[in-house]
Amino acid sequence: MGNSKSCSERSFCSQLLPEEQAEIDRLFDALSSDKDSAESSPRCFSLKALQSHVGEALPQEMVTRLYDGMRQVDVTSRTLGPSKSVSREQFSASMSHLLKGNAEEKSLVILKMVSAREGPVKAREVQKFTEDLVGSVVHVLAHRQKLRGWAGTQATGAPVRTKALATHLVSEMKLPGGERPQGPQWLDLDCDQGVIEDWVFRVPHVAMFLKVVICRGLLILCGSLDVATLVPERQVELGQELESLLDAPAVLFLGSHLAPEQRQRWRLLFSSHLHGQSFSQLCGRITHRGPCLVLLEDRDGHVFGGFASCSWEVKPQFQGDNKCFLFSITPSMAVYMPTGYNDHYMYLNHGQQTIPNGLGMGGQHGYFGLWVDSDFGNGHSKAKPTCTTYNSPQLSAEENFRFEKMEVWAVGDPSESELAKAKKSILDADPEARALLEATGRTRHSEGFREVPDGDSAHE
């Protein structure tokens, strides 16, 4: 398919297009012309040549894994064992399998990247491979300056987040018999090629992450990879600096659960660090802004939140739809989707005397899956055994929690009508402040004040 040479001539059916094959061949020629590789006959390349080409773009562990996967590709269907170096056909076959192949073809190479020995691998080896893979994605995107403003592997807590995302991906793996991984004892179980193939088929991020590692690490076929589909552009207001609760692993994780049009650009609407510990500010800055992510960090270090699929409105009724979800980032990564039990997806109220004032998602009054009280800094996650709306567990370390850090990020672009509504003064969403001004006889000089338009925000 799409190759200038037939399958019989190449001993395998490459799925690379002619121009892609030509680029692969040029890289092989460069690698095999290395001093250590050129002495081999027929031409092939060594691990040292690959390491020299990649440089600091990838961690050495991942370069070695790639090399081990390539040199064990059997392009002749004769089981002769792994070669000492990588031939042209092995290189072409491994690139075709990993970048364009089906789940079976990808799994054959991945299995050898997990372990160089023959036969099944242990689940703990798959876990370690996945941690290396996630870490390599963040590393290479940071090295190539493609993180678009988000913190990479040097961020505080990055190793924990990397392991959490890897654990989330591996949790989707089904072991023989169909069971899912449960508890630490599963790490000693065997995973054969069928298990890896099923995992690759059902968890597309494994193949996508490998593509990032190959294209950006080896600087090959980069035109086939749109980083914007993985990493949204980070935007905050001009002149503002923010050490966000989100970093690259968290963004990769949350973005995978959003619609494609919501992955391109994330705009900061509210940060307690920048805009103060104020529920009135929160209401004024997040209403009528389209879909957004709400994040909190409690005083015990748990980071969690919810995705609001519709614009927030201050009103005494529940709102939203079944595209909303709750999530956890730290200490573990997980997403909790609606159960259909009720439609209590979103709730935002302020200034009322007889009903709760605050921001909530899931559950019911007094027992939300996620609740931020109008007395800013207080919240609860009452979900025992689970939240009725999202089937989520308790997200915070303590059922009733205190927090100091809160962020809201708009995802995707709001409609023109939403933007027009959002230009109202923050005071319009703060009845108490308005009443205080009127009681003192002062006019609302801030009536003309409006939020900074989206066009005035900038990349950080």
Are residues 200 and 79 part of one domain? yes
Per-residue pLDDT tens for 171-199?
A: 899 877 766 656 777 888 889 999 999 99
Are residues 186 and 325 part of one domain? no
Are residues 342 and 430 part of one domain? yes
Q: What's at 414, amino acid-wise?
A: P
Using the predicted structure, report yes or no on whether residue 114 has a pLDDT greater than 50: yes
Using the predicted structure, report yes or no on whether residue 416 has a pLDDT greater than 70: yes
Question: Residue 425: what pLDDT?
Answer: 43
Asked which of 199, 227, 255 is the last residue of a domain, the reply is: 227
One-character DSSP codes across 125-167? HHHHHHHHHHHHHHHHHHHTT-STT---TTSTTHHHHHHHHHH
| Residue pointed to by tokens 């003192």 | 440
| Domain membership flag for residue 69 | yes
| Domain membership flag for residue 395 | yes
Confidence of residue 449 (pLDDT cuts 50, 70, 90): very low
365 is in which domain, residue-wise? 265-459
Q: In percent, how much of the chain has pLDDT > 70?
A: 82
Per-residue pLDDT tens for 314-367?
A: 999 999 999 999 999 999 999 999 999 999 999 999 988 888 999 999 999 999
Calculate the average pLDDT of the chain: 86
Confidence of residue 228 (pLDDT cuts 50, 70, 90): confident
Q: In percent, how much of the chain has pLDDT > 90?
A: 69
How many domains is the chain partitioned into structurally?
Answer: 2
Query: Does residue 108 contact residue 114 with C-beta atoms inside 8 Å?
Result: no
Question: Residue 126: what pLDDT?
Answer: 95
Are residues 120 and 25 part of one domain? yes
How many helices (H) and strands (E) are present in the chain, helices listed first? 16, 17
Query: Does residue 24 contact residue 91 with C-beta atoms inside 8 Å?
Result: yes
**What are the C-alpha distances in Å from 133 to residues 58, 130, 187, 205?**
10, 5, 18, 10
Asked which of 201, 227, 253 is the last residue of a domain, the reply is: 227
Are residues 202 and 316 part of one domain? no
H/E run at residue 227: none
Per-residue pLDDT tens for 22-31?
A: 999 999 999 9
Which segment of 163-177, 266-280, 419-433, 439-453 scores lowest on mean pLDDT?
Answer: 439-453
CA 3 to CA 221: how far, in whole Å? 15
